[in-house]
Structure 1
Amino acid sequence: MTNQPVHTKLGGGNDLEAAINRVISQAQRYLRIFDYNLSEGNYNSPDRFELLRNFLLLSRANRLDILLHDTDHLTRYCPRMIILLQQFSHAIRIHKISPEAKGIDDPFIIADESHYVHRFHYNNPRALLGLHDNPGTLKLSQRFAEIWDTSTPSTFATTLGL
C-alpha cells in the first residue's frame, strides 16, 4: 500500500517552521535544502539542530546538501549549523549558487524522494508542504541538481591557511 500525496498550503510563521521540521523528521537517506541564506526557517534553533543531528546519526550514509545564494548568514549567525558541519563533515556539503542562478528565488527542502516544503519566494512566507508526493519531489530534485551542477563548494568544516 502506498501513501496518497498530501498537500497543505502554509501561510508562513509557525506553520512553515512545523512543516520544515516535519520534512526533516521524515528523511531517511538525504535532505536537500535550497535557500537564500538560511536566515528564515530558524536553522539555528536547538530543535532544528537536534532534528538534523538525529537525521545524520540515523546512518553514516545519510547526506545533507545545502545550496545557498549567500553563505555569510550561515557562517556568522548559525553556530549550530557549523557544529553539525564539523561533526558530520563526511555527510554535509554546502554550496553557493552561481551568478547565473541568482534569479532563482523559491526556496525548498526535500527529504528523500517523497516529501518537501516549497516556498513561493524567499521574501514571502507562503509555501506548500508536500508529503508522499514523488512526482512533485522529483521536479524539485531535478531543479536542485541543475542548480548544484553550476554551484561551487562554499563553507567547510575547517579553516585552511592558518
Structure 2
Amino acid sequence: MDALHTPFDTRSAFQQHLASCIGAAQHRLCLFDPDFSSWELGSSNMDAALRRFLHGGGQLQLLAHQGQALERHAPRLLRLLQSYQHRVALRRTHPALRQLSDSFCLADQSHLVRRFHSDHMRGEYSVNDAAEVKIYQDRFITIWLDSGEGLLLNQAEI
C-alpha cells in the first residue's frame, strides 16, 4: 500500500485523525504529549475506542510531562486505566526532557498522528509510511526509557 500523508491544522481535524489512528490500532498504542490537555481522552467516544482496543488485547503506553489535565478532566480515562491496568503503562518524563514540545500517537507500525508543537493544532496524519513511523517509534522508546513512574498522583492504584 502507498503511504498517505494528510496535513491538518484544526482541533476537529486533529480529533478526527486521532480517532482514526486509535481505531486502526490492534496491538499497541503509544501516546506522547506534554499533558494531553487537548486530546479529549476523557470523551465518551475516546473511552469507547480505547475500551475496544484494550478489550481486544491491545497494549497502551501513555507518556507525558505531567498528568494533572488527565486527573482533572478525564475521569472516564482514569476508570478505564484502572479496569485495564494489566494492559496499560504510564510514565512521566524525566525533568531533562521537559523541553520536548511535540505530540504524537502511534498505532502498531502503520499509523501516526503528530502535531509539530503541542501548543498548536498543525500536524500530519500518516498511514503506511514505515520509515516515518519507525522514526517516531524509536523516539518514543528513547523518551520512555529515560522516563519513570508517577504520571498520575494515584498511579499505584492503576
| Corresponding residue to 2:31 among 30, 33, 36 | 33
Write the letter of the residue equivalent to 2:27. R
Q: How far 1:76 sits from its partner (Å)?
A: 2.0
Which runs of 5 or more structure 2 residues have no equivalent in the other structure?
none
Residues of 1 paired with 2:76 and 2:136: CA distance? 26
- Aligned positions of 1:4-83 closer than 5 A: 4-59=2-57, 62-83=58-79
Number of equivalent positions: 155
Give the match for residue 151 of structure 1. Answer: 147
RMSD of aligned Cα (Å):
1.1
Separation in 1 of the partners of 2:50 and 2:19?
9
3-state secondary structure, aligned to 1:36: coil
Q: Which amino acid aligns with 1:88?
A: Y
Structure 2 counterpart of 1:112:
108
Residue correspondence of structure 1 range 74-93 to structure 2 within 5 A: 74-93=70-89
CA distance in 2, matches of 1:115, 1:31: 10
* Distance in structure 2 (CA, Å) of the matches to 1:42 and 1:72: 14
CA contact (8 A) 1:85 1:157 kept: no
User: How far apart are residue 144 of structure 1 and its match?
Assistant: 0.4
The answer to whether residue 96 in structure 2 is matched with residue 100 in structure 1 is yes
Q: TM-score, normalised by structure 1?
A: 0.92
Task: Provide the rounded CA distance (Å) in 2 between the counterparts of 1:138 and 1:104.
Answer: 19
Asked if the contact 2:34/2:100 (under 8 Å) is kept, the reply is: no
Tell me the secondary structure at the aligned position of residue 71 of structure 2.
helix
Q: Distance in 2 between matches of 1:15 and 1:157?
A: 35
Contact preservation (8 Å) 1:35, 1:108: yes
Over the matched positions of the two proteins, sequence identity in percent amounts to 28
Conserved in 2, the CA contact under 8 Å of 1:117 and 1:127?
Answer: yes
Separation in structure 2 between the aligned mates of residue 36 and residue 27 of structure 1, nearest angstrom: 22
Distance 1:24 1:96 in 2: 21
Q: Return the alpha-carbon distance in structure 1 between the equivalents of residues 13 and 110 of structure 2.
A: 19
Query: Using the alignment, how far apart are the partners of 2:100 and 2:31 within structure 1?
Result: 14
Moved over 4 A (4+): none
Q: 1:140 aligns with which of 133, 136, 139?
A: 136
Q: CA deviation at 1:157?
A: 5.9
Q: What are the superposed Cα offsets for residues 38-95 of structure 1, whole Å, 9 maximum, x if unpaired? A: 1102111100010000001112xx2100001111111222101101111100011111
Q: After alignment, is 143-152 or 70-79 more displaced?
A: 70-79
Q: Which residue identity lines up with residue 117 of structure 1 in the other structure?
A: V
What 5-or-longer segments of structure 1 have no aligned partner? none
| Structure with a larger share of its residues in helix | 2
- Aligned-pair CA distance for 1:134: 1.2
